[in-house]
Every structure is written in C-alpha cells, then in structure tokens.
Structure 1
Amino acid sequence: MMRNLVNGAVGGALATAVYSAMLMAADRAGLLEEPPPRRFARVALPGRGSRPRPGESVLSTIAHYAFGSSCGTVLGLLSAGQRVPVPIGTAYGLLVWHFGCRGLAPAIGAYPPLPKDRPGRQATLLAGHLLWGTALVLALNRLRAERAQLTTELAPRLREEVRRPVIPAPEPVSVR
C-alpha cells in the first residue's frame, strides 16, 4: 500500500510537470489570461489585487505540484499496484478537470462558472487535464511493483546467460 501511495505521488508530480509545460505553451500562445496555479495563489493570498505579490509564483508552483501529487496518490492507491489502462487515466484527468473547473475554481472565485468562462481557456484546460491523466497512468504503470518483482525473478537467469560463452568452445581434436 505504501509503495502504491509513493508511486501515485511520484506519478502525479511527473504528470504535473507535463501539464505545466503545456500550460506554459498555452500561456505564451495567449490561450490563458493567467495560468490557473497562479490565479489560485492570487486568490488564496491575503490582500487581493491585480499586481503580483512576493512569493506568489513559488506558492503557485508548490500548490500545483502538491495538488497533482495528491490526485496521483488517489489513483495510485485505487490501482493497488495493478496495471492501469490508459483510457482510465484519461477519464481520471477529466474527473480532476471537472472537480477543479466546475467546482473548486468558481467556488473560490478564481474563475467564472463554466458557461460564463471563455471557451478557449476551458478547452485548453480540459486538454491539459486529459494529458495529465494519460501521463499519470503511464508513470504509474512504469513504477508499479510488479516490474520490480519481475526483475528480481529474472536476475538469476540473466546471470546464468551472461556466464555462458557466446561462442561455443571448439571440440578437442584427437591426434592420431
């Protein structure tokens, strides 16, 4: 169970890195007014205003990775160390998007409710969360415990194969 928890947290952090790269590209392309992690940090910090505050960028990055790792931990625990099909991860990314964009963001005033928000931003965020869920499952499947057990089972056979000569020794020739 602990291994699944750690794998989920690591997988969530890796998937968040992929999602963050997409957010940076979308921000540079002008698809987002402000990346969601920064917007959440601005709403959470005291003294609302339009100007950036000290520590806002660091806080938003830490919070974003903490949230991504937490969500990854949930799927890591639910998977119980088993291989997770990629469509499940994509659907899980959709669930996280729904929770954030339809529930949390409007509730704290970070973004308007979905029908009143810009369609381009929501499409970008949805695509990012689908990517996040897919990356999460790929990471979980790569980190799962079964791989480690398989490696330890194969190790003795591999050592035996390495010890065997590649070129067979010539048979002795009789001298008569």
Structure 2
Amino acid sequence: MTAVMKVLHRRLPLLQRHPLPPRQIAMRVAKRLGIGKPRSTGAQKAMTLAAHFSYGGAMGTVYRRITRRIPPGPGSGIAFGLAVWTGSYLGLLPATGLLTPATFHRPQRNALMIAAHVVWGWSLGALTRRIDALPREKWPWDGLHARAPH
C-alpha cells in the first residue's frame, strides 16, 4: 500500500503533490495530543508510518473477525479495503475533524488513495487465505503456545 501511494504520488500534477492524508492525519493527531509536529522530515515519516500501520493492523483485525463468516480472499479483501476507505474518508475522519471529506479532495488524489486501499485489501485477503490454508500446527502463534511449558 505504501509503495503504491509513493509511486502514484509522484505521478500527481505538481500542485497536488503536497503530503498525502496519512501524513496530514498523523500530524493533526500529534497536535491534538499535545505532542506537536516533529521537526525533522524523518521523524514525521516515522510517526506517519507508525500511525498508518497501526490503523491498518487494527482494520486487519476487523477483517479477520469478518472472515469467520465469509471466506477470506482477494475479492473480500478488496471489498473490505474499499469499505475502510469509504468509512474513513467519508465518515470517521471528517466526523473527528482530522480531514475534510473525500468529496472535497481532487479526483486524482482520491483515485490514488482508493488504489492504495484496493492493493491493501487484496494483500490482506490473499495473506489471510494463505494463513488459513496452513495446517494449524504451522500457525506461528499457535505453535508457540503448543511448545510452551504448562
């Protein structure tokens, strides 16, 4: 997802190459928490990646709960990725005042973010299906518990 965002960001018209939503959101959250915007670009990138990966991980957990009722896979993952984009960029983020609704953003920037969420969803669905196909004894988290002394 991050790689897709970087590649597509470079293809935006020059006037649209300002920071993407994950950076904007992370910096606004930091300000609200009283942490403030980091001075260095490297620290801003690190904070953005940590926040974005944490949110993605939390949403991945939600997807995992959903796949107890529907089969995991690239198709359901893409649908989930699009639902995350829709819920976040048209609902949660505007409701919290962290970002204007996607309807106020340029179409190219929305297309970039939608494409990144499609890639994320596809990857999430494919990985989840692959993990489910492993014999349970090969699941790393289950195997560790099985070997732990009781």
Match of 1:42?
27
Residue matched to 2:110: 122
Partners of 1:72 and 1:94 in 2: CA distance: 13
Corresponding residue number in structure 1 for 2:2? 20
Structure with greater Cα Rg: 1
Secondary structure at 1:133 match in 2:
helix
- Structure 1 equivalent of residue 124 of structure 2: 136
Query: What's 1:103 paired with?
Result: 91
Q: Which residue pairs with 2:81 in the alignment?
A: 93
Alpha-carbon displacement from aligned partner over 1:53-111 (angstroms, at most 9, x marks no partner):
33322211111111111111111122239842422111101100001110123234443
Greater displacement, 28-37 / 112-121: 28-37
Q: Is the partner of 1:45 in helix, strand or coil?
A: helix
| Amino acid in structure 2 at the alignment position of 1:148 | P
- TM-score relative to the length of structure 2: 0.73
Letter in 2 for 1:57: K
Q: Which amino acid aligns with 2:21?
A: P
Identify if the C-alpha distance between structure 1 residues 40 and 124 changes in structure 2 by more than 3 Å, giving closer, same or farther.
same
Q: What is the aligned-residue identity percentage?
A: 27
1:90 touches 1:134 (CA, 8 Å); kept in 2? Answer: yes
Q: CA RMSD in A?
A: 2.5
Structure 1 residue 149, shift from structure 2 partner: 4.5
Consecutive unaligned residues of structure 1, counting only runs of 5 or more, are 1-18, 152-176
Instruction: Report how many residues are paired.
Output: 128
Q: Which protein, 1 or 2, shows the higher relative CO under an 8 Å CA cutoff with sep ≥ 6? A: 1
